[in-house]
Amino acid sequence: MELYRILDRIDAEQTNALNRLLEFLRIRSISTDPTHASDCQMAAEWLAEDLRSIGFKADVRPTSGHPMVVAHGPSNGKRYLFYGHYDVQPVDPIELWERDPFDPIVENQGREAVIRGRGASDDKGQLMTFVEACRAWKDETGELPMNISMLFEGEEESGSPSLVPFLKRNAEELSADLALICDTGLFDNRTPAIITMLRGLLGEEITVTGPDKDLHSGQFGGIAANPLRILSRVLADLHDDSGRVAIPGFYDGVEDVPDDIVLQWNSLGFSATDFLGKVGLSVPAGESNHTPLEMIWSRPTCEVNGIVGGYTGPGFKTVIPSRASAKVSFRLVGSQDPYKLRRSFRDFVRWRIPADCSVEFTEHGAGSASMFSTDHPLFGRARKAITPEWPNRAVYTGEGGSIPIAGHFSNILGMDSFLLGFGKVDDQIHSPNEKYDVDSFQRGARSWARIINELQSAHTPPGTDDEAGDSPA
């Protein structure tokens, strides 16, 4: 039985695979910071080179931003496009990291071995689970698995400005029967999650300008418009007292979750107290008439992600600053239209700016939400395929984080996405001391090997969804 030889090979290769990942993690590919452009290029080249070493035909393709990596295996039968991203989040506040974020190591955290470093989980470690599965397949069988292509972008953490043009320009080359995406998390440490609902994302930056220079609050306080006060009012007005977003039309296109999904969610035993307790909180802060799982999976949100203005150094300065700015993001669900929302949001803000002040907007990406039908036969087959790898059977869930790529795949390439990832809730992605469990990395690669094996057996009829078989092919 070939699958078991491949799984054994993944286990035997673990040390080498971890060393490859550490090498990848050392590349400082922070896409949002222009000073790291050459690091992004380097990460793309590292990845293409690694894929070529396995036997993929892999290129680094320039864009007007950071490059794409495209790789193709041998062609035959149904086609699958694996997607990941090689760019990472910024590292500030850097002083909270216990070590250099780009000097990764494998270390113990409690009883778990973890890979520590920026990108370990999001998304370098995750994307390498798929690459390692392909490598083991090739090493063991002498051939790559059939008809697998890969697309890796370098702007996922900075709004993906080059993605849509690239997909449109290369639609024929990239279209497939199904996309495979590894940029999500487990439901819990024992239970994988297949994501069938993804929130969209709209990112906006607003800068309010009042006086044309910084003023002394003694000379001008009380009479001059203060951009910090105006901005605070705008941001406070975004939510009403019940936690609902107050922008007119915001909830257009938001629908209630279907009853059968609500039933499945209610049976998951999710505890908001436990979930929030891990980050030092206890009270769900969202819309008061929705359950905690709805808040993170199926309800749209508006969050302020950054504010700055005035004097923020040590001590005190009685200044009325000329400008103040904030970054605001929206998670979208159902058929909420990000472009329509952008217009409503900007009107909402403009309406609150005094006549002698002004506001400027900067866009930081817009993607709508996605939903996939679990009726697709591959969903059931893949769900079954990974069952032996984990203590609990995989569940269908929503996902609060936005993976706009799934929407673009659907809209531009006409294909559904199968989202499976192995991140844990304490991975601290986007935060200091990001990590990825070695267990996630290892079981992740083994899970992909099982799924590839299932997809290759295209002529085998799919197992029924109720069968808890342990030998997938």
- Which residues between 421 and 450 bind a copy of itself (CB under 8 A)? 425, 428-432
Of the two residues 9 and 408, which places its CB atom closer to a copy of itself in the complex? 408
Assess 272 for contact with a copy of itself (CB under 8 A): yes
- Which lies closer to a copy of itself via its Cβ, residue 110 or residue 315? 315
Region from 136-144, 256-264, 306-314, 457-465 binding a copy of itself, contact rule CB under 8 A: 306-314
Contacting residue, 221, 258, 414, 469, with a copy of itself by CB under 8 A: 221
Which of 84, 104, 154, 284 binds a copy of itself (CB under 8 A)? It is 284
Cα–Cα distance, 88 to 216 (Å, whole number): 41
* Candidate ranges 61-69, 226-234, 258-266, 464-472; the one touching a copy of itself (CB under 8 A): 226-234
How far apart CA 161 and CA 355 sit, in angstroms, is 33
Question: Least distance from C-beta 325 to a copy of itself, angstroms?
Answer: 8
- Kindly tell me which of 75 and 305 has the beta carbon lying closer to a copy of itself: 305
Please list every residue from 131 through 150 that binds a copy of itself, using CB under 8 A. none
Cα-Cα-Cα-Cα dihedral of 187, 191, 195, 201, to 10°? Answer: 20
| Contact flag: residue 218 with a copy of itself (CB under 8 A) | yes
Q: Quick one: 328 or 449, whose CB is closer to a copy of itself?
A: 328
Residue keyed to tokens 């080249």: 45
Note whether 401 binds a copy of itself by CB under 8 A.
yes
Residue 243 burial (CB count, 10 A): 16
- For β-strands 80-85 and 178-181, DSSP reports them as parallel
- Which phi and psi (to 5°) does residue 125 adopt? -65, -40
How many angstroms separate the CA atoms of 224 and 407, rounded?
Answer: 46
Cβ 389 vs Cβ 10: under 8 Å: no
Identify whether the C-beta of residue 194 lies closer than 8 Å to the C-beta of residue 376: no
Shortest distance (Å) from residue 363 CB to a copy of itself: 10
Interaction with a copy of itself in 314-333: which residues (CB under 8 A)?
Answer: 314-321, 324-327, 329, 331
Under the criterion CB under 8 A, does residue 350 sit at the interface with a copy of itself? no
User: What does the chain come to in residues?
Assistant: 473
Site track for a copy of itself across 182-201, x = CB under 8 A? ---x-------------x-x
Q: Which residue has the tokens 């062609």?
A: 75
Contact (CB, 8 A) for 60 and 82: no
